[in-house]
């Protein structure tokens, strides 16, 4: 699978564990962490049956290093009080584009910290941004939930299924 989940400055080990569990659910095995708040993520109890993803997670000091091998970098955002300088796509549209790209090249899907999301500087590494359609009054989701919803939308696309390597027997 050519999809890399990149968590930028994640703060809560439980959220990191929940993201790892969602990744395992959908067969996305490459977790990258940029400047994680605490290395205790390796013991995240919410990573049920996903400890391998946490054990193999790679840590990076910068986003540039974390996405250097990716041909498409997509940031997630709840928009909030900022002016966006990148194209913004809804999850269902972005999911289809990502699924198609996975067949030919690595894709990085960036998620920001639970407290602040992706900064404008973080977003500068992205080709475009993707938003989960939520109600305006409560626009952001929990990190683990956002990872799960995005991966579901990507993996339900037949193009993503074709991009997955066949299981070894």
Residue 53 φ then ψ, to 5°: -65, -40
CA 145, CA 104: separation in Å to the nearest integer? Answer: 27
Average pLDDT, the chain: 85
Residues 52, 70: Cα–Cα separation, whole Å: 22
| CA dist., res. 97 & res. 82, Å (int) | 25
Q: Confirm if 67 and 6 have CB atoms less than 8 A apart.
A: yes
Work out the pLDDT band at 168, boundaries 50, 70, 90: very low
| Residue among 65, 23, 1 at smallest CA distance from 152 | 23
Q: Between the ranges 34-48, 55-69, 82-96, where is the mean pLDDT highest?
A: 55-69
Closest CA to 118 of 94, 85, 159: 85
Q: Name the least confident of 8-22, 32-46, 97-111.
A: 32-46
Q: How far is CA 162 from the centre of its chain?
A: 20
pLDDT, tens only, 34-49:
988 766 555 666 566 6
The strand pair at 107-111 and 58-60 is best described as: unpaired
Quote the percentage of the chain above a pLDDT of 70.
83
Kindly state the average pLDDT of the residues 56-84: 88
Residues 20, 53: Cα–Cα separation, whole Å: 6
pLDDT value, residue 85? 79
Which helix or strand (DSSP H or E) is residue 131 part of?
Answer: strand 128-131
- Rounded mean pLDDT of 24-42? 83
**Alpha-helical segments (H) within 42-86:** 51-55, 63-66
User: What is the rounded CA–CA span in Å between residue 106 and residue 68?
Assistant: 10
pLDDT band at 136 (very low <50, low <70, confident <90, very high): confident
pTM summary value: 0.88
């Amino acid at each position: 699978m050519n999809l890399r989940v990149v968590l930028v400055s994640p703060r809560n080990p439980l959220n990191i564990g929940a993201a790892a569990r969602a990744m395992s659910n959908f067969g996305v095995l490459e977790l990258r962490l940029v400047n994680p708040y605490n290395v205790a993520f390796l013991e995240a109890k919410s990573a049920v049956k996903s400890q391998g993803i946490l054990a193999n997670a790679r840590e990076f000091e910068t986003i540039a290093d974390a996405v250097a091998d990716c041909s498409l970098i997509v940031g997630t955002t709840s928009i909030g009080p900022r002016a966006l300088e990148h194209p913004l796509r809804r999850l269902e549209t972005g999911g289809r584009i990502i699924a198609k790209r996975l067949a030919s090249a690595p894709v990085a899907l960036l998620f920001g910290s639970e407290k602040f999301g992706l900064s404008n500087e973080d977003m500068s590494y992205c080709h475009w941004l993707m938003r989960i359609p939520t109600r305006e009054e409560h626009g952001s989701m929990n990190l683990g939930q956002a990872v799960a919803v995005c991966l579901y939308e990507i993996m339900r696309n037949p193009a993503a299924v074709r991009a997955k390597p066949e299981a070894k027997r």
